[in-house]
Structure 1
Amino acid sequence: MTKKFLIITLLSLAAGSAFAGGLLTNTNQSAHFLRNPALDASTEIDAVYTNPAGLIFLTNGFHLSLSNQSVYQTRTITSTFAPFAVNNDGDQTKIFKGTASAPLVPSFQFAYKKDRYAISAGFAISGGGGKAVFNKGLPSFEAPISMLPLSLSSKGVPTSKYTVDSYMEGKQFIFGVQLNGTYKINDALSAALGMRLNIVSNAYVGHLKNIMINPNQPAFGPLYTGSAMVSAPKFFTDAATALSGWSAGATSYAAGLQPIVTGGGGTVLLANGTSAGLTTTQIAQIQGLLGAAGLTQAQIAAVNIQTAQGTLAAAAPVFAGKAAAMTTNAGSTADKQLDCTQTGWGVTPILSLNYHVAGLNLAAKYEFKSTLNVQNNTVIDDTGLYADGVNTPHDIPALLTLGAEYQLCDKWKVSGGYHHFFDSDAKMANNKQQYINGGVSEYLLGSEYQLNDIFLISAGGQITRTGVTDAYQTDMSYSLNSYSIGFGGAIRITPDLRLNLSYFFTNYDKWTKASTNYNGTTLAGTDVYNRTNKVFGIGLEYKF
């Protein structure tokens, strides 16, 4: 058994972004994005995040955008591992499903533009978001537990079933507060400098309890006949007690038989030990210990006192070692709970450039790496692996975005973009960044068409290519290639007020990972990772 499967799973559960973007970064920070994700060269109010240098093309005055996104996501791991069959109607394949929901993900963007200058501010969930729940745990929870029947049976304790109650819930939010200053250098070129304050707030709650097995070993207690499910910790505790008693008994009898051997009675059959001064009770107890040491009834009937003494002397430390192992197993299978939060903060400097000529707008933005740690604030940690006050690396990677927008005619424009997240350079817990080849890359296209003075429609897509390797992927944290499609529209309620309505969904490519040492069990197993993602958006834009 391992003590790590609960704690590591909980800590990694919410480590990935629940929205569009890289491993730790959300790029969808407005309802506008959901209906057209290719906004990297935008010159509208959403450019507070996507293209701060493009804000110089706003009309003079104040501009405000308020949005809410409702995010619904599932994570599915289809695991094939032979020991799962005993708790899955004989089927070696089990499906572990988690749900993540965030019905309220608010954001706002504000800008004031005056001639050649603009200042702007924004707030959004810049990373993570929502709550992920696995009501039946994960394969890494269950794999070590599923080995119990096989392990016990191989050690002479026939066991054919196990059950477990496992649960995990994780929440992760990185709140981003951004400030920008924009300057128009000339009629074609503008630039912006900004910064984002990232405030991390994570919470994890989980348990692994009520591990039950059906061992058939009455020698450890009358409950253990194989006919009923019993508490695994109680069984291992009772087994340790019995084995410790056997060790003490074997040691005592090995010493007690020495005078008989010294006096020349060593060749007497143990069964005839009364002739050498043993009582019938003592003979029966010694025979019981010899049986526990592995001798057959025939061997016990034929053994003499001297051989019995040697066997008991050799068996005593073996019993003691097994008792220690049973005590360890009792601790490993005991109920475990975790309740902890993490907090931390870091600053992201942002540089943005925008070039405009005729109907073409080009933009580039670079967000520098945010170096930060998160600190554990632990209420309860039965694993002993998550000490209160410990800091864990949680860097937010640098991000480069490139965008282009072209006005085909008065009513129709098209746009494209490229994102690259430098994930390999952002330090993660356990140096997991070493298993990333560069980072995540995204390719975006979009189009908007103004039907009339009131209604606008738009659509776009995003292709995401993850840079992770097979070594990065675990059931606790995985990244998948995907494509996303968003569509929706805008309604001009008044000349100064616009309503955005949008929908965005993502299709993921499955990732299959086979292992010859599945979750540290030394047996082969396979996980197939998959996800779904749906986001609904609504927002208002107002200029005054």
Structure 2
Amino acid sequence: MKKSTLLTVVFLGLIQSVWAGGILTNANQSAQYIRMLSRNASTDIDAVYFNPAGLVKLNDGWHFSFNNQSIFQTRTIENMYPLLNESTYDGDVTVPVFPSAFAVYKKDRVAFSFGFGVNGGGGTAEYKTGLPSFEIPFAQLPAALGQLGIVTNGYSTDLYFDGRSVFLGTQLNASYRFNEIFSGAIGLRVISAKNTYDGHIKQISLIVEREGQPLLITATDLFNQLAADASAAAGQLGQYPADATMPDETAATYGFQSGTTFGEAAQTMSVKAATANAYASQMGDKYESLDQKGTGFTPIIGLNIKPSDKLNMGFRYEFKTVLKMTNHTEKDDLNVYRDGAEFRNDIPAIFTAGVDYQLLDNFKLSGSFSNYFDKAADWSGKENDIEKNYYELAGGLELQLNEVTTISAGLMHSETGVGRGYQTDISYSLSSNSVGLGAKFKVSDAFDMDLGVLNTVYENGYKEIEYAGVGTYKELYDKSNLAFSIGLTYHLL
């Protein structure tokens, strides 16, 4: 068992987005989005994010919006490796507070806007019993001990990992109406990214037979004892002529076959002692505690086209956010996160297009397309496992029941482009289908409230992993996701 195999898989660096928007990007930036899913041609206040060129369609004056989502996600990994104590691992991602805020000042042909949101990450992923990649190296210990002549009945260990990731975005836009049909926008978003990891590997133990009874012994103590016994045996055997054949009784005492020479036996015991010492050095408690921080900038351009009173089209392009993260390491017993080390974790460029069509005075249809240029991002080599860019197709409808209440619904299909080489139990991407439902309530001329609920069903993914000396086994990936949202909008006209 190599140290790199045992340790570097334990604390990996990429915590994915908590819901919609590609591998790393959160597009769920408003309550209106949760209840409708298609917002790329929005001319409401959430156009600050989805369609900044459409903000010139707002009424003159100030507009403010505050949104929150509560997101609950379960990630399930099932590994078929036969030596594991358990094959299924669940990780809970809970995000009770996922805020966003928008402010717009509109006057004649011009609109200036501000946006704030969690543009990536946003969740805490807690794995109370670790993950397959955490545990498999320890599941291999009984077989390794068998090579040292020690029979074990199993293993036990305390594995824990907690990863928190938040990419906060602050955005400023300027929008201008060229004429009744065309308007444009430019913007800039500043991303402040932070990942925080805490975890441990403790109390690695093995079950061995002692006097016919199972006994739980810490792996460090066991390997240290094995090393000491093997080293002592090597010393004793080394006192005899190396080419002399061991008596059968002596050979049996040390566990060797008849005809083994003292030199061969001494060499074998020396190798066992060195192997046991190597294992013992890895079996102590390990702790990780660190932050990773970085800042990036996202230029944004937008175009809105309104050829008629019924039809509106919005387009947005976000340039790639070059994001260089730096380790700020407090504890690194695994020697995988050197303090001050840097790596790239770019947010990919995004192109979006949307269309809204007012079919009736009280009934609107909407369609949206979003493409995430993952293949062009720099993820410190992980982008090499991207086969095609991630995209989303969404459709929504909105029906105004009366002057107060408007209901809406939406469907979205998200298609990931990762190859199977990309997938790991910590970082995996799955295609999905989502449905959103909700309503808007016009409480007064100045005040609106949006409520929404969204459920996402993911397509299962898998990867075949070859384990040296054991075989090739599948690892299966799944998720479940549920989100609730509320948005409050105030118009100061």
Q: TM-score, normalised by structure 2?
A: 0.95
The equivalences for 1:218-257 within 5 A come to: 227-251=214-238, 253-254=239-240
Q: What's the offset of the Cα at 1:468?
A: 0.5
Which letter does structure 2 place at the counterpart of 1:524? Answer: T
For the residue of structure 1 that corresponds to 2:17, the secondary structure is coil
In the alignment of these two chains, the number of paired residues is 490
Query: Counterparts of 2:228 and 2:93 in 1: how far apart (Å)?
Result: 45
Question: Which residue, 417, 420, 429 being the options, matches 2:368?
Answer: 417
Is the 1:407–1:413 Cα contact (8 Å) retained in structure 2? yes
Match of 1:277 in 2: none
Provide, for residues 234-282 of structure 1, a one-character-per-residue CA deviation record: whole Å limited to 9, x for no partner: 101111112222223333x13xx59xx9xxxx89x979xxxxxxxxxxx
Q: What is the root-mean-square deviation of aligned Cα atoms in Å?
A: 2.1
Question: Which residue, 458, 462, 466 being the options, matches 1:512?
Answer: 462
> Does residue 292 in structure 1 map to residue 242 in structure 2?
no
Is the 2:327–2:339 Cα contact (8 Å) retained in structure 1? yes
Match of 1:59 in 2: 59
For the residue of structure 2 that corresponds to 1:35, the secondary structure is helix
Q: What's the offset of the Cα at 1:488?
A: 0.5
Match of 1:169 in 2: 162
Query: Counterparts of 2:171 and 2:19 in 1: how far apart (Å)?
Result: 19
Query: Counterparts of 1:373 and 1:537 in 2: how far apart (Å)?
Result: 32
Q: What's the offset of the Cα at 1:152?
A: 2.0
Match of 1:303 in 2: none
> Does residue 150 in structure 1 map to residue 143 in structure 2?
yes
Q: What's the offset of the Cα at 1:293?
A: 6.0
For the residue of structure 1 that corresponds to 2:79, the secondary structure is strand
> Does residue 541 in structure 1 map to residue 489 in structure 2?
yes
For the residue of structure 1 that corresponds to 2:119, the secondary structure is strand
Match of 2:409 in 1: 459
Query: Counterparts of 1:140 and 1:444 in 2: how far apart (Å)?
Result: 35
Q: What's the offset of the Cα at 1:226?
A: 6.2
Q: What's the offset of the Cα at 1:9?
A: 4.1
Provide, for residues 415-438 of structure 1, a one-character-per-residue CA deviation record: whole Å limited to 9, x for no partner: 001011011111113x11111112
Is the 1:361–1:406 Cα contact (8 Å) retained in structure 2? yes
Q: What's the offset of the Cα at 1:11?
A: 2.7
Q: What's the offset of the Cα at 1:315?
A: 2.9
For the residue of structure 2 that corresponds to 1:214, the secondary structure is strand
Query: Counterparts of 1:481 and 1:356 in 2: how far apart (Å)?
Result: 33
Q: What's the offset of the Cα at 1:142?
A: 1.3
Query: Counterparts of 1:322 and 1:186 in 2: how far apart (Å)?
Result: 83
Is the 1:83–1:150 Cα contact (8 Å) retained in structure 2? no
Provide, for residues 378-430 of structure 1, a one-character-per-residue CA deviation record: whole Å limited to 9, x for no partner: 1111111111111121011001101001111221111001011011111113x
Query: Counterparts of 1:538 and 1:371 in 2: how far apart (Å)?
Result: 32
Query: Counterparts of 1:392 and 1:226 in 2: how far apart (Å)?
Result: 51
Is the 2:9–2:133 Cα contact (8 Å) retained in structure 1? no
The equivalences for 1:438-449 within 5 A come to: 438-449=388-399
> Does residue 209 in structure 1 map to residue 210 in structure 2?
no
Match of 1:369 in 2: 320
Match of 2:115 in 1: 122
- Kindly tell me: are residues 414 and 233 of structure 1, through their superposed partners in 2, closer, same or farther at Cα, counting changes over 3 Å? same
Query: Counterparts of 1:536 and 1:6 in 2: how far apart (Å)?
Result: 38
For the residue of structure 1 that corresponds to 2:274, the secondary structure is helix
Is the 1:214–1:224 Cα contact (8 Å) retained in structure 2? no
Is the 1:352–1:365 Cα contact (8 Å) retained in structure 2? yes
Match of 1:524 in 2: 472
Q: What's the offset of the Cα at 1:514?
A: 2.4
Is the 2:148–2:272 Cα contact (8 Å) retained in structure 1? no
- Kindly tell me: are residues 37 and 312 of structure 1, through their superposed partners in 2, closer, same or farther at Cα, counting changes over 3 Å? same
Query: Counterparts of 1:511 and 1:103 in 2: how far apart (Å)?
Result: 27
Question: Which residue, 336, 342, 347 being the options, matches 2:292?
Answer: 342
Q: What's the offset of the Cα at 1:454?
A: 0.6
Query: Counterparts of 1:224 and 1:121 in 2: how far apart (Å)?
Result: 73
Structure 2: gaps spanning 5 or more residues? none
Q: What's the offset of the Cα at 1:150?
A: 2.3
Query: Counterparts of 1:109 and 1:353 in 2: how far apart (Å)?
Result: 19
> Does residue 314 in structure 1 map to residue 238 in structure 2?
no
Query: Counterparts of 2:7 and 2:166 in 1: how far apart (Å)?
Result: 21
Question: Which residue, 172, 183, 189 being the options, matches 1:190?
Answer: 183
Q: What's the offset of the Cα at 1:521?
A: 6.2
Provide, for residues 492-514 of structure 1, a one-character-per-residue CA deviation record: whole Å limited to 9, x for no partner: 11101001111011000111322
Is the 2:90–2:127 Cα contact (8 Å) retained in structure 1? yes
Query: Counterparts of 1:35 and 1:485 in 2: how far apart (Å)?
Result: 9
Question: Which residue, 263, 274, 283 being the options, matches 1:324?
Answer: 274
Which letter does structure 2 place at the counterpart of 1:183? Answer: Y
Q: What's the offset of the Cα at 1:312?
A: 2.4
Structure 1: gaps spanning 5 or more residues? 89-93, 217-222, 272-286, 300-307
Is the 2:371–2:391 Cα contact (8 Å) retained in structure 1? yes
Query: Counterparts of 1:65 and 1:202 in 2: how far apart (Å)?
Result: 28
- Kindly tell me: are residues 389 and 440 of structure 1, through their superposed partners in 2, closer, same or farther at Cα, counting changes over 3 Å? same
Query: Counterparts of 1:348 and 1:26 in 2: how far apart (Å)?
Result: 14
Query: Counterparts of 1:107 and 1:248 in 2: how far apart (Å)?
Result: 70
Match of 1:50 in 2: 50
Q: What's the offset of the Cα at 1:320?
A: 2.0
Match of 2:331 in 1: 380
Query: Counterparts of 1:373 and 1:322 in 2: how far apart (Å)?
Result: 45
- Kindly tell me: are residues 535 and 6 of structure 1, through their superposed partners in 2, closer, same or farther at Cα, counting changes over 3 Å? farther
Which letter does structure 1 place at the counterpart of 2:489? Answer: E
For the residue of structure 2 that corresponds to 1:475, the secondary structure is coil
Match of 2:424 in 1: 474
Is the 2:15–2:164 Cα contact (8 Å) retained in structure 1? no
Provide, for residues 112-133 of structure 1, a one-character-per-residue CA deviation record: whole Å limited to 9, x for no partner: 1111111111000000111011
Is the 2:91–2:125 Cα contact (8 Å) retained in structure 1? yes
Percent identity (aligned):
37
> Does residue 355 in structure 1 map to residue 305 in structure 2?
yes
Match of 1:25 in 2: 25
Is the 1:169–1:205 Cα contact (8 Å) retained in structure 2? yes
Identify the structure with the greater strand proportion. Answer: 2
Query: Counterparts of 1:531 and 1:500 in 2: how far apart (Å)?
Result: 27
Query: Counterparts of 2:78 and 2:469 in 1: how far apart (Å)?
Result: 18
Query: Counterparts of 2:391 and 2:10 in 1: how far apart (Å)?
Result: 26
